[in-house]
Structure 1
Amino acid sequence: MTADFIFSTLKDYFLLALLALIALSILFFILYYVVYRKLLGRDKRLSKKQMLVSSMFVGYVIMVIGVTIIDRGAHFNSQTDFSLFNSYREAWNNFGIPDWQFIILNIVMFVPFGILFPLLHSRFQKAVWTIGSGLLFTLSIELFQLITGLGIFEVDDLFNNLLGAILGYGIVMGILKIRKKKFKRAVAYFSPLFLVLILFGGMFAYYHLKEFGNLSLAASTKVDMNETTVILDVVLDDMDSTVPIYKVNSYSHTEAKEFVEAFFKNIDIGTEELEEDLYLDTGFYTTRVDPTFRVSFEFFDGRYDYLDFSSLDGIDLKDTDEKNLLNKLTNFGINIPTHSQFQQTETGSYEWTIRNDLENDQLLEGYISVNYYADDSIKNISNQAHYLRQSKRRSNKK
């Protein structure tokens, strides 16, 4: 999920919330001015601040319901996950952007709740009101997802949403205490935010200080291994030998952008207005000409995917031969090694598998797949082949 997709979704539901808010405002006007004041003769007035905060809160609730319920299909069939911090263990083991992204978004999504709810009325400035209401709100969403199959009931979602409400409550109460010059109380209210920032910052810093990262295959949940039998049939070689050690070529943000610009230049696509959407491990580079083109690039080892968005317009795939594909790929600046294994996976879809292709002390391995379309063009390329440079030679002497 890219930032473009997130902002596009928020934009869609912001418009939905705005339209719903306009309809509710009209209904409120009728009930308040016509029924309450005219027919019943009451004269209690609402402050502009109350009306503004109430409108923002209602709009926020509508957006949350849209993102968590309306935007989903019933594909989950009453699935549950009661393992607390399971998503954190998975994110730590995999340390991928999507894993951390969903955790952080679930926290951030409820920060506005914690900020706006205490502003609705002074009684809601008590922690029990805001935190308790936040718990009821997120619990209602999770239960509705469980019953309707529109999502998974996850304890971690409850925790993250509640944490977001606590952070929002601490932020707004801290600001209110600063305005009253009660700085010690303000620091206490801000402390949950400081603690979360320190914990997340510490985790990310510690990870990047580790030479090889984390073990992605580590279990996130407990598994009963009592009945498991392990059989090892590997015979180790007693002979001494020296073997080369290879390391992947990593790229900086600047090097990645230069590669993408050269890639687009090969196929005559301008990069004057190239959009960069950078994450921890991946960069998304988009040119919004007609049609739109995008390259997603992995900084760690230089793998990348190319997408011509005209492929989404319903153009059929078409069969061709390897020679034609190789000629087309040359225009992209891609040369397939001679000893690659070529295969057709389905209509218009092809793949070259590269195993241990050694060139100038660099080892190339992986695969390159393409899709060929009826207009005689390649619109999708997945270059999952990466170079490994020889860094040292090591003996396996015992």
Structure 2
Amino acid sequence: MRTHEILGIIKRNFHIGLIGVIILGILWSIGYFFIYKRVLGGKKSPTKKQIILGCAFTGYIIMVLGVTFLNRNSNFKGNVNFHFLSSYREAWNTFTLRSWQFLILNILMFMPLGILLPLLHNRFHEIKWTMGTALGFTLFIECLQLITGFGIFELDDIFNNVLGALIGYGIIMTIFTILEAPKHRFLKIVGYLSPLILTLVIFMGIFSYYNSQEFGNLPVAYSYKMNIKNTKISLDVELNKERNLATVYQAPNYNKNSAEEFVTSFLENRHIDTKNIEINPYSNSAIYWIRSEPSYNIWIEYLDGSYRYTDFSSFDEGIEPMDIDQDTLFEELSDFGIQIPTKAVFNNKDLGSYEWVVEKEIIGDSIMEGVLTCRYYSDNTIKEINNNLITYNRVKEVPIKSETEAFEELVDGKFKFFDSVDKIESINIKDVELNYHLDSKGYYQPAYSFDSVIDGKEFKIIIPAL
């Protein structure tokens, strides 16, 4: 999620919070002046501080509810995740900015609660009252998400929210201590700030350790252990107990500058003017726009160099998809700088729609794999290309686990299973082979693929081999 998207969500929900405060303020004023004052003869008046903090607190609560429920669809009804810290392991495996953003934003979202509560009432100077309120509020949100389907009831969300409130509480209590406590301030301040300091140290340690790794992490790795204690596991294949060496390859990684150079060269090769190119950057990809007549765009992934090209003249009147022979397609694609391997499997998927599939073709010290699709039109041009044909270059040979060791991890439940079942009755292993998967740093890592039948359904269980 880009910075301007986050700011847009905050701005939109700030307006919602402001409108909510105004409406509730009008209702409160009616109740206070006409019922409490005139009818009941009340004498108490709120101070300016109470009014300001009350408005801030009310607006904050509305904003949190808006962020939680108004920015997603009701697609998650009944979904729960009680696996503690599984979202952190998932963020570690994928190691994308987006995955870490969600965790950090969940912490930051509750920091104002920890700050506002002690300002509202002295009772919340006691940590038990602030943490109890934070826990109650986040439980209310998670339960409401579970009932409405606007999100998942997730144990990690509760942990992150309470942690955020604890950090906010520590910050405001540190300020109170500096202003009010002349003695023993240092120890109190250290105690109050310890959640913030510890959180920062842990996150810095995670990112430092990741950057020091030679290779990245595999998104296909497990985020929590499956409960297969009573699962019947059977093997139809003999496993190798010997450890071997396997080659690690690397995809053609791009950064912001090199990706822009590639896209500019790609478009100029098509005689497209790139002077007014627009760039929409994301954390691991970017979209490049030429808003002319016709318009063009290219979406490129930094991690492996795959891209999608679209010529929007395909929507012009009289332009329709058209079938053409494979030799003409080869010529057209070569004009784009694309060479299709002779061993690629060719498919005519639909009218004017074509696909080439390459499975682990060794080319010298490199390996090519992936799928390329394109669409041909009646003006004798290709207007759509989705190029996932990647050439991975050899990096080095590395020692890997044996098939038996990988199977032991499987038996321990250390695999990702894309199903919401509470327990697995049976797993039958039909075969095992060494495949490759792209890691979070753009390396093509070996991983064992167990062809399995899980409760009657075919499934490939992936166990990282390094």
1:388 counterpart SS class:
strand
1:227 aligns with 2:232: yes
Change in Cα spacing, 1:288 to 1:262, as seen in structure 2 (3 Å) is closer
> After superposition, what is the alpha-carbon deviation per residue over 1:145-169, rounded to whole angstroms, capped at 9, x for unaligned?
2223333222122111111111121
Q: Compute the displacement of 1:199 (Å).
A: 0.8
Cα RMSD, aligned residues only: 4.1
Distance in 2 (CA, whole Å) between partners of 1:99 and 1:302 is 21
Q: Which residue of 2 aligns with 1:239?
A: none
Contact 1:86 1:221 in 2 (8 A): no
Change in Cα spacing, 1:224 to 1:310, as seen in structure 2 (3 Å) is farther
Contact 1:284 1:294 in 2 (8 A): no
Distance in 2 (CA, whole Å) between partners of 1:14 and 1:48 is 22
Q: Which residue of 1 aligns with 2:458?
A: none
Change in Cα spacing, 1:160 to 1:233, as seen in structure 2 (3 Å) is same
- More moved, 318-327 vs 256-265: 318-327
Distance in 2 (CA, whole Å) between partners of 1:293 and 1:244 is 38
Q: Compute the displacement of 1:274 (Å).
A: 3.3
* AA in 1 matched with 2:127: A
- More moved, 57-66 vs 133-142: 57-66
Note the residue ranges of structure 2 that are not aligned, 5 or more in a row.
Answer: 399-466
Q: Which residue of 2 aligns with 1:31?
A: 31
- More moved, 343-352 vs 296-305: 343-352
Q: Which residue of 1 aligns with 2:355?
A: 351
Q: Which residue of 1 aligns with 2:211?
A: 208
> After superposition, what is the alpha-carbon deviation per residue over 1:247-270, rounded to whole angstroms, capped at 9, x for unaligned?
323334432343344456554354
Contact 2:247 2:397 in 1 (8 A): yes
2:200 counterpart SS class:
helix
Q: Which residue of 1 aligns with 2:107?
A: 107
Q: Going by fraction, where is helix more abundant, 1 or 2?
A: 1
Contact 1:264 1:271 in 2 (8 A): no
Q: Compute the displacement of 1:271 (Å).
A: 4.9
Change in Cα spacing, 1:392 to 1:199, as seen in structure 2 (3 Å) is closer
1:284 aligns with 2:289: no
- More moved, 204-213 vs 172-181: 172-181
Q: Compute the displacement of 1:345 (Å).
A: 4.2
2:53 counterpart SS class:
helix
1:64 counterpart SS class:
helix
Distance in 2 (CA, whole Å) between partners of 1:3 and 1:133 is 30
* AA in 1 matched with 2:150: L
1:319 counterpart SS class:
coil
1:193 counterpart SS class:
helix
Q: Compute the displacement of 1:304 (Å).
A: 3.4
Q: Compute the displacement of 1:106 (Å).
A: 1.9
Alignment of 1:108-123 (within 5 A): 108-123=108-123
> After superposition, what is the alpha-carbon deviation per residue over 1:37-88, rounded to whole angstroms, capped at 9, x for unaligned?
4554445333333322222221221122122234444333322222222222
Distance in 1 (CA, whole Å) between partners of 2:24 and 2:359 is 63
Match 1:191 to one of 189, 194, 206:
194
Normalised to the residue count of structure 2, the TM-score between the two structures is: 0.68
Change in Cα spacing, 1:204 to 1:377, as seen in structure 2 (3 Å) is farther
Q: Compute the displacement of 1:198 (Å).
A: 0.9
* AA in 1 matched with 2:102: F
Distance in 1 (CA, whole Å) between partners of 2:382 and 2:134 is 50
Q: Which residue of 2 aligns with 1:21?
A: 21
* AA in 2 matched with 1:385: L
Contact 1:260 1:285 in 2 (8 A): no
Distance in 2 (CA, whole Å) between partners of 1:75 and 1:208 is 36
* AA in 2 matched with 1:274: I
> After superposition, what is the alpha-carbon deviation per residue over 1:274-320, rounded to whole angstroms, capped at 9, x for unaligned?
3434x3xx133465958997655433322334578999x9x9x9533
1:259 aligns with 2:262: yes
Q: Which residue of 2 aligns with 1:170?
A: 170
Distance in 2 (CA, whole Å) between partners of 1:80 and 1:244 is 39
1:351 counterpart SS class:
strand
> After superposition, what is the alpha-carbon deviation per residue over 1:203-256, rounded to whole angstroms, capped at 9, x for unaligned?
1221222222335444322332662123335899xxxxx998743233344323
Q: Which residue of 1 aligns with 2:45?
A: 45
Q: Going by fraction, where is strand more abundant, 1 or 2?
A: 2
2:233 counterpart SS class:
coil
1:83 counterpart SS class:
coil
Contact 2:289 2:298 in 1 (8 A): no
Note the residue ranges of structure 1 that are not aligned, 5 or more in a row.
Answer: 237-241
Distance in 1 (CA, whole Å) between partners of 2:35 and 2:296 is 56
Q: Compute the displacement of 1:329 (Å).
A: 6.1
> After superposition, what is the alpha-carbon deviation per residue over 1:313-362, rounded to whole angstroms, capped at 9, x for unaligned?
9x9x953335787787678x452425343434456754332345667865
- More moved, 142-151 vs 224-233: 224-233
Change in Cα spacing, 1:285 to 1:130, as seen in structure 2 (3 Å) is farther
Change in Cα spacing, 1:334 to 1:353, as seen in structure 2 (3 Å) is farther
Change in Cα spacing, 1:233 to 1:167, as seen in structure 2 (3 Å) is same
Match 2:338 to one of 324, 335, 339:
335
Distance in 2 (CA, whole Å) between partners of 1:292 and 1:262 is 17
Normalised to the residue count of structure 1, the TM-score between the two structures is: 0.78
Distance in 1 (CA, whole Å) between partners of 2:388 and 2:119 is 52
Point out which structure has higher relative CO (alpha carbons under 8 A, 6+ apart).
2
* AA in 1 matched with 2:321: D
Match 2:392 to one of 380, 383, 388:
388
